[in-house]
Structure 1
Amino acid sequence: MTGSAHHPDAPHIPVLLRPLLRAVAPVTGTWLDGTFGAGGYAKGLLEAGADKVIGIDRDPLALEMAQGWAGEYAEKLQIHQGNFADLDEIAGEMLDGIVLDLGVSSMQLDLAERGFSFMKDGPLDMRMSQDGPTAADLVNGMAEGDLADILYLYGEERASRRIARAIVKARAIEPITTTLRLTEIVEGCLPRPKPGQSHPATRSFQALRIAVNDEYGALAEGLMAAERALKPGGALAVVTFHSVEDRMVKRFFQHRSGGMGRANRYAPQAEEDAPRFTLASRKATGPDADELDVNPRSRSALLRVGRRTEAPAGTIERKALGMPVFQGKLP
């Protein structure tokens, strides 16, 4: 989902596409791309042999942009606005494969007015679906302790309390409504980065974006929806971009492939313990040197792939996935 994608003719480079297609080969039947973006994975799947791809994206802009080229694929490509948490209902049929790319799309980062980027000035928005509370609503409306918890839980920001205090102090003077104003406040709380380190505002912006879009909740629901929607032998491929997402996907596959072991080894194996997925590898795949050259944004990407067994779908508790749980109140 990276590359420059705010113009229909701009290059769009889907992260880890080649290793993903290798891992899920052969690509046949009906696939679902739950994070459609600029359509890079969907095109890759169709070109690799999929008979049909169902694309889902929360962002109405993704659907608008696709109108320029989707017609080339006729009925082989169907695109829906929606959340991949509901992918089984949206698909309405059993699937041969599902792809989820959890990175924020470059068309969102590149458009300053969407408010995702700490590098460009725009309204502090960050809503993927363009509805509901904005990042500005959170920053100006949350209690200091809740704001600190969001920054720590969702952004792994160690200076969360200091940043929350600075935000509350600044908003008392005037509301924080733009991305660069928030960036300035966060930068004032942290040391200047050394060469090669990420921008000081990276973790805070990530945390707010995840909270605004309930990304972890959608991921937990989406993984369970994928288990329900895949045919036996169907592949689930997930590309993550930071440690919390990768931990959730890794634990999901561990639990669902029998890799966590039974709580009591003397108890008979329950139906619930039957593996739902098999894993070709317990290790994640990262980008190779060629991909890093072409697409520097892929540096933190990790791919995990599982294949559905014949065991009936079940449910898994969110806490079993190591999902950070925010106990406070969102505005």
Structure 2
Amino acid sequence: MVHDLREGCILPANATPLSIISRADVEAAGRMLGSRVNRTPLILAEAAGGQLGARIYLKLECHQRTGAFKYRGALYAAATLLEGTGGEIVTASSGNHALGVCLAAAELGARATVVMPETAPAVKRDRARALGAEVVIHGAVYDEARAHAEDLARSRRALFLPSFDHPLIMAAQGTVVLEIEEQLPDLDVLVVPVGGGGLLAGALAARPDLIVWGVQAAGADSFVRSLAAGHQVTIPRISTLADGIAVLAPGRLTLSQALAAHPRLVTVTDAEILAAMRHLLLNERVVAEPAGASGLAALLAGKIPIRGRTAAVVITGGNVMADVLCQALLGGPDGPGQ
């Protein structure tokens, strides 16, 4: 590792794009995390592969501790930054990062306070409380919750742990890809959901040689717009059921990593996400939340050229409300599915 990721990084808005982390940083995160995180299954999606003429594998981070990949980044960053001192961690999250921070804090002997936007699903709020966290509801969207969480951390002199825009978070999320390459050595395409960009940045650092596709919700496409513009773009509003990838603006560090690596990005509609959730339930017996199903949604909708290739899709989480699952099974707002 050529630099100390504990110090974070402040990147000016007009900075030249650069790689914030490297594969060495991801490997360091992997060594520290070890058996403290689940080595999640990678399964062959036969139905989807047969439909698309490709070998498609699903990396089931919905089977990770707390039900989402976010635990990796939360544990690695908290353990590194707290250095065994305990104390308090404050974070903002629509849910999955919050759950990761709550469990990490409990294991490290620290207190956790999580600020969630009003749109955070009740299942995630309740699980955070069950893990012993103080849950604060503030703001209509994640970005407003984050601003409040930063103020709260300053007033309490607590550690603020961002959801995605920190080198330690980015490096730890990249360990998903290290596992995939061990499980599937002939992988040539990787598909990941994208919100603020922590997983995307980690994937790009872990495997710069790989074709990496990022997938955003059409109603929260800030990363897509920012990548096209070459700088951070804040969208005026969010309109998607995929709360796990709904942010008004990407991280500056995650965007810099992406701009330096040139990944491919596409968007999917809520209807396409619901169709993918339904496919996962009925064909692969996998329960995924909307954000977690967005990568497969892009494949099933024909938005990523995949025929003849070997691809892995990260199913990033499975913390989903029952009513959303019912909506997926019934075919979404347009009526029964096929």
If asked which structure has higher relative contact order (CA below 8 Å, sep 6+), I would say 2
TM-score, reference length from structure 1: 0.29
TM-score, reference length from structure 2: 0.28
